[in-house]
């Protein structure tokens, strides 16, 4: 630090003698850049570029600073100027790809990263960055092929075994994923990421205790491994231990206050607890951290739908459709939008398809019931769907009764639900009944 301060003073004295000396202006910019004071860095970079507008070193550093401050157009302009005369400058092209990623311009980022790898086939970080982009937009086959190539080039790097393992995990080839994670662990036995990934496989097999144990082992290796806290939260949530889940979420937020994921997951907990206002607050916090985070938009759309604030719900669900490149990711948003537009058959089809991907979602069954309620002759099927929703999450009784769709069915079948005291409906507050034996038995009624 002392040496940097001396260098800083040297540059200042140099500028006292010659205020237009570009190396000193660029040096002062770099001093502030290293301290992450990007606005101050740009003050000196911009002065230098007025004197030498095509100084590639200053342009590249200015591009990074603009990107860090969210001034993406100016960042791109800096990189374009360099690449115009130096199209093979792959580090600059890589930085341009990073700027596109920051704007969620994933296809543009892919184009630039593929050019980087074409010009520099052994540029390792371009592989990991491109794999990240492929995962974000669910290009699993491309990710699988790229990870195989990376393993061939870098056989001793556990990172790419983890990438390929995660790719197999995403396409539900869990045994292949586990083998690759174990290979990665042999290369680095203390890797918190790899140990946590092995927990992910156990989670997929619904071995929640084993998954939790792996996450604990990962945190012993790295007490600040945020991903393990995120996974711990989700596991506790699945185990019905919401209080422990909330503690883990809050820990994850402290470790990485700029991550939208724990805020979104907390929003889901509030959503499941029928605490829609609290859920909305968490989803909005997530969007402040990442204005393009699709799951937060979807959570807001669902929350407002449950509050019968349809205009707000439509707004957020349409945002989901604008950003997603995958029809699968847009299933729920499209199902709801078709419901709002009273296209009930199409809504039913989409909810049904979404349930096949997530058969334990009470919300999806409630949506399916709502869609079927609008189709002539589907009243009984609608009520069965609502019954599944309540079986999976008894908090959904509020939604069902609010729509007056299940009450006659419950009474006619002798199956009655406990109605929360907060209900405004003129029904008994406590009505006892025998619940369905399990969700699968009722799912058969509608699948």
Q: Are 198 and 168 in contact (CB under 8 A)?
A: no
Contacts of 217 (CB under 8 A, 6+ apart): 195
Residue 443: the pLDDT is 26
Rounded CA-CA distance 362/45 in Å is: 55
Residue 393: the pLDDT is 77
Given a cut of 80, whether residue 109 has pLDDT beyond it is: yes
Rounded CA-CA distance 198/162 in Å is: 10
Q: Is residue 418 part of a domain?
A: yes
As given in the structure block, the two tokens for residue 220 are 């012993």
Instruction: Indicate the number of domains in the chain.
Output: 1
Given a cut of 50, whether residue 409 has pLDDT beyond it is: no
Given a cut of 90, whether residue 239 has pLDDT beyond it is: no
Rounded CA-CA distance 407/415 in Å is: 10
End-to-end alpha-carbon separation of the chain, Å? 67
Q: Is residue 1 part of a domain?
A: no
Q: Are 45 and 62 in contact (CB under 8 A)?
A: yes
Q: How far is CA 437 from the centre of its chain?
A: 35
Rounded CA-CA distance 330/319 in Å is: 10
Q: What values do phi and psi take at 123, rounded to 5? A: -80, 95
Given a cut of 80, whether residue 244 has pLDDT beyond it is: yes
Task: Give the chain's mean pLDDT.
Answer: 83
Q: Are 152 and 121 in contact (CB under 8 A)?
A: no
Residue 65: the pLDDT is 95
What DSSP line would sit under 256-272, residue for residue? -TT-SHHHHHHHHHHHH
Rounded CA-CA distance 99/397 in Å is: 47
Residue 78: pLDDT band (50, 70, 90) is: very high
Q: Are 320 and 298 in contact (CB under 8 A)?
A: yes
As given in the structure block, the two tokens for residue 120 are 């520099």
| Among 12-16, 52-56, 241-245, 428-432, the least confident range | 428-432
Q: Is residue 361 part of a domain?
A: yes
Q: Is residue 375 part of a domain?
A: yes
314, HSE (Cβ side, Cα atoms, 13 Å): 8
What digits encode the pLDDT tens for the residues 254-295? 888 888 888 888 888 888 777 889 999 999 999 988 887 888
Q: Is residue 359 part of a domain?
A: yes
Residue 410: the pLDDT is 39
As given in the structure block, the two tokens for residue 76 are 């791109």
Residue 389: the pLDDT is 84
As given in the structure block, the two tokens for residue 436 are 């369905």
Q: Is the pTM of this model over 0.85?
A: no
The residue-averaged pLDDT of 385-389 equals 86
Residue 360: the pLDDT is 80
H or E, element range at 114: helix 106-119
Q: Is residue 166 part of a domain?
A: no
Q: Is residue 69 part of a domain?
A: no
Residue 415: the pLDDT is 37
Domain with 422 in it:
346-447
CA-nearest of 138, 41, 40, 125 to 90 is: 125
Residue written as tokens 């669910």?
138
CA-nearest of 301, 325, 326, 330 to 315 is: 301
What digits encode the pLDDT tens for the residues 330-363? 888 888 889 888 899 999 999 999 888 888 888 8
Rounded CA-CA distance 295/271 in Å is: 13
């Amino acid at each position: 630090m002392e040496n940097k301060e001396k260098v800083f003073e040297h540059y200042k004295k140099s500028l006292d003698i010659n205020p237009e000396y570009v190396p000193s202006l660029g040096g002062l910019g770099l001093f502030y850049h290293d301290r992450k004071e990007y606005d101050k860095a740009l003050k000196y970079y911009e002065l230098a570029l007025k004197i030498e507008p095509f100084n590639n070193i200053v342009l590249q550093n200015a591009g990074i600073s603009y990107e860090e401050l969210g001034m993406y157009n100016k960042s791109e302009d800096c990189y374009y100027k360099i690449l115009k005369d130096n199209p093979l400058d792959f580090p600059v092209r890589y930085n341009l790809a990073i700027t596109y990623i920051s704007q969620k311009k994933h296809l543009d980022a892919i184009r630039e990263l593929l050019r980087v790898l074409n010009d520099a086939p052994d540029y390792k970080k371009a592989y990991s960055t491109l794999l990240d982009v492929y995962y974000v937009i669910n290009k699993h086959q491309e990710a699988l092929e790229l990870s195989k190539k990376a393993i061939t080039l870098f056989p001793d790097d556990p990172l790419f075994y983890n990438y390929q393992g995660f790719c197999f995990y995403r396409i539900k080839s869990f045994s292949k994923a586990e083998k690759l994670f174990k290979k990665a662990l042999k290369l680095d036995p203390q890797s918190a990421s790899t140990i946590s990934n092995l927990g992910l496989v156990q989670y997929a097999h619904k071995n929640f205790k084993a998954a939790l144990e792996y996450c604990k082992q990962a945190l012993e290796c790295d007490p600040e491994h945020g991903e393990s806290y995120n996974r711990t939260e989700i596991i506790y949530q699945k185990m019905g231990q919401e209080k422990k889940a909330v503690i883990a979420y809050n820990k994850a937020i402290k470790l990485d206050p700029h991550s939208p994921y724990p805020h979104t997951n907390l929003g889901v907990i509030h959503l499941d607890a029928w605490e829609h206002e609290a859920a909305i607050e968490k989803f909005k916090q997530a969007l402040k951290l990442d204005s393009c985070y699709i799951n937060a938009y979807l959570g807001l759309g669902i929350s407002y739908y449950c509050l019968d604030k349809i205009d707000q719900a439509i707004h957020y669900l349409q945002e989901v459709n604008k950003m997603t490149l995958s029809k699968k990711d847009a299933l729920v948003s499209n199902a709801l939008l078709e419901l709002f537009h009273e296209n009930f058959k199409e809504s039913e089809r989409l909810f049904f398809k979404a349930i096949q991907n997530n058969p334990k979602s009470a919300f999806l069954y409630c949506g399916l019931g709502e869609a079927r309620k609008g189709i002539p002759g589907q009243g009984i099927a609608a009520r069965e769907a609502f019954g599944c929703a309540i079986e999976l999450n008894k908090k959904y009784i509020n939604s069902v009764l609010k729509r007056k769709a299940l009450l006659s069915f419950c009474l006619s079948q002798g199956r009655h639900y406990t109605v929360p005291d907060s209900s405004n409906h003129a029904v008994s507050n406590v009505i006892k009944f025998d619940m369905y034996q399990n969700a699968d038995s009722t799912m058969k009624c509608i699948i």
